């Protein structure tokens, strides 16, 4: 085989390997940190569920809390994935808009109305835990 033919064949093989490598899916470590939450202190809030979002990668609970001034404040509470919560007894229907809840959370370090929920107590006294 001539030098030019070998050179062209090696270039074609290299291009094919490169094209294949670019098509192989790779999982990227794109998970965020929980550094935004004050995990040294927990607080308890009470209010009414506005929305419960059973979504990946994290569930969210929007809770309307009456502030000291009497105004309604919306708290955004982040939870585990549906997979984690379902292993701990949760269902997509565990919370619904209008449910009265008391929630223990790790608050946001920024002081904004939000946090990571730990435990939820519903009006009937039943409890939902982030971790079993």
What pLDDT digit, counting tens, does each position of 43-97 carry? 999 999 999 999 999 999 999 999 889 999 999 999 999 999 999 999 999 999 9
Q: What is the pLDDT of residue 2?
A: 75
What would the pLDDT profile of 93-124 be if each residue is shown by its tens digit? 999 999 999 999 999 999 999 999 999 999 99
Q: What is the pLDDT of residue 132?
A: 47
Residue 102, domain member (yes or no): yes
Q: Which residue has the tokens 């292993």?
A: 87
Say which CATH number the domain at 122 has: 2.40.50.140
Q: Which domain holds residue 93?
A: 43-129
Number of domains in the chain: 1
Token pair in block for residue 66: 């009456």
Residue 49, domain member (yes or no): yes
Q: Residue 57 region, left (φ>0) first, then alpha (ψ -120 to 50), else beta?
A: alpha
Residue 65, domain member (yes or no): yes
Count the Cβ atoms, other than its own, within 10 Å of residue 85.
Answer: 22
Q: What is the pLDDT of residue 28?
A: 47
């Amino acid at each position: 085989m001539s030098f030019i033919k070998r050179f062209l064949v090696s270039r074609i093989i290299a291009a094919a390997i490169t094209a294949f490598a670019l098509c192989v899916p790779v999982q990227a470590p794109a998970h965020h940190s929980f550094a935004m939450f004050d995990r040294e202190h927990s607080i308890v809030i009470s209010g009414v569920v506005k929305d419960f979002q059973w979504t990946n990668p994290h569930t969210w609970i929007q809770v309307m809390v009456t502030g000291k001034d009497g105004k309604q404040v919306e708290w955004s509470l982040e939870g585990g994935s549906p997979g984690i919560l379902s292993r701990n007894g949760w269902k997509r229907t565990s919370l619904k808009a209008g449910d009265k809840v008391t929630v223990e959370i790790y608050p946001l370090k920024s002081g904004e109305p939000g946090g990571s929920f730990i435990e939820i107590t519903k009006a009937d006294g039943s409890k939902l835990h982030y971790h079993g």
